[in-house]
Amino acid sequence: MKNSDKEMQLLKEEIYKMWELVLSQLEKAKQAFMNNDVDLALEIITLERRVNAFELKVDSNCENYIALFSPVAIDLRLVLSAQKIGIFLERIGDLAAGVARHITDRDKSRMDEQLKEGLDLENLFDTLLHMLSDCFVQFRTESTHAYRKILAKEEIVNAIYEKSFLRTADYLKANPEEIPYGLKAILLIHRLERIGDYCSNIVEETVFYVKAKVLKHKGKTE
């Protein structure tokens, strides 16, 4: 195996490990939030440093590969996409840690079950987990046949997000003493909506890598 092939494989393995860690962080964020598990939330926050370290390593590996091997065609597209995907994964990890901090902050951690169900948060978490997992499969298998289905899930995320404002307003009208917490709940759901955006960004980068097709600034379901 050529040195360039060995280095490419190492680069892929680093981003696979990072992806698996971020998926785990998001799954734990769901569990911690749904169960108000402070100990699990603290674990997520502690592991955030590992996600950051992975992002730096992936970025460095991509730069070194370009400098050493001057890749072209699909190899160049892979390195450029991997570098951006590493950034998006790190941001998803940050957002998962943000959810965890919401739980560890005693002033924010309590959420009325009625509001939690009304905001459809479990469905939102599950949709995001499916998006991130499907993105991983698409990237690892170099297959883009399902990219439209992944992008379509962002519409579910956006619909839940948009409904959250009206549902929170209705809840707060009936429970005005909860207004400060209701506003913080909106910030929480905004974090989750941003994860959907980053998953869509990852899909765009994977399609660029595999098919040399640019989806950015175009209709994503073309």
Predicted local confidence at residue 34, as pLDDT:
92
Closest by alpha carbon to 171, among 108, 118, 214?
Answer: 118
Closest by alpha carbon to 31, among 23, 40, 22?
Answer: 40
Note the residue count of the chain.
222
Predicted local confidence at residue 50, as pLDDT:
97
Extended beta strands in the chain, E state: none
Low-confidence stretches of the chain (pLDDT beneath 50)? 220-222
Residue 129 contacts residue 195 (beta carbons within 8 Å): no
Give the type of residue at 146.
A
CA distance 138 to 207: 9
Phi then psi for residue 71, to 5 deg, are -65, 155
CA distance 87 to 82: 9
Predicted local confidence at residue 222, as pLDDT:
47
How many other CB atoms are there within 10 angstroms of residue 143's CB atom? 12
How many other CB atoms are there within 10 angstroms of residue 113's CB atom? 7
Query: With the CA atoms of 130, 133, 136 and 141 taken in that order, what torsion angle do they form, in degrees rounded to the nearest 10?
Result: -80
- The answer to whether the predicted template modeling score (pTM) of the entire model surpasses 0.75 is yes
Predicted local confidence at residue 221, as pLDDT:
45
Tell me which fold the domain 3-211 belongs to: Methane Monooxygenase Hydroxylase; Chain G, domain 1 (1.20.58)
